[in-house]
Amino acid sequence: MTDLFTLEAEVRTDLGKGASRRLRHANKVPAILYGEGQDPVSLTLTHKSVFRSQQEEAFYSHVLTINIDGKPVECLLKDMQRHPFKQLVMHLDFLRIDATHAVHINAPIHFINEEAAEKKGGKIAHNVNEIAISCLPADIPEFIEVDVAGLEVGQTLHLSDVVFPKGVTSDELAKGADHDQAVASLNAPKVVSDEEEDNSAPVAPVNTTEE
């Protein structure tokens, strides 16, 4: 999978909406690389390689290598613009990283043991699907695993209950206890009232034929 996290790029000097439109017609993707106190650099990548890579969940939280005219630069994907209805990537924003500097990134959540929790009679609800984290680039997880097996009906699992990988911290929890977000809940099943049951009962068809 390593090749999915390495992209070839060229520096572009032809800027503006018209230039970007011409690139897309040539199956290329305009992009920009910024951060670490350096000047932004406008780039061009091939759409085929970008589209293949962006189909992998890890692409959004993995350290990427962009070979710019043969020179490798490590970065993170910070933003991606897609066409509203076509399968096209329209633009990419990349952030340079330094191995010694912490980065802020949203890590996807993988919920586990949902079936075990729901056997208690409730239904798992996902309050969030990703968590804002901080860590050194080498410690970036592809996802955060959240085990909901211990939830009882009516209980909610919060950020403070999540076991984070070594070297990883929650951006929200760093702001204080008031930011202890709900992550998942085991909700009680909906109770159907007698009135609702009556309303949902099938209505016999009315015979309008005159004899």
Domain ranges for the chain: 2-96, 103-187
**Residue 61 confidence (pLDDT) above 60:** yes
C-beta of residue 44 within 8 angstroms of C-beta of residue 105: no
pLDDT in tens, 26-59: 888 999 999 998 999 999 999 999 999 999 988 9
The answer to whether residue 209 scores a pLDDT higher than 50 is no
Tell me the pLDDT of the chain averaged across its residues: 88
pLDDT, tens digit, 9 for 90 and up, residues 144-199: 999 999 999 999 999 999 999 999 999 999 999 999 999 999 999 876 655 655 56
Residue in 74, 79, 69, 59 with CA at minimum distance from that of residue 4: 59
Q: Are 133 and 170 in contact (CB under 8 A)?
A: yes
What class has domain 2-96? mainly beta
Residues 6+ away with beta carbon under 8 Å from 53:
4, 5, 7, 59
d(Cα 192, Cα 189) in Å, to the nearest integer? 9
What pLDDT is recorded for position 109? 96
Nearest-angstrom CA–CA distance, 130 and 126:
10
Give me the pLDDT at residue 119, please.
94
Distance of CA 3 to the CA centre of its chain: 21
* Residue range 103-187 in CATH 2.170.120.20: yes
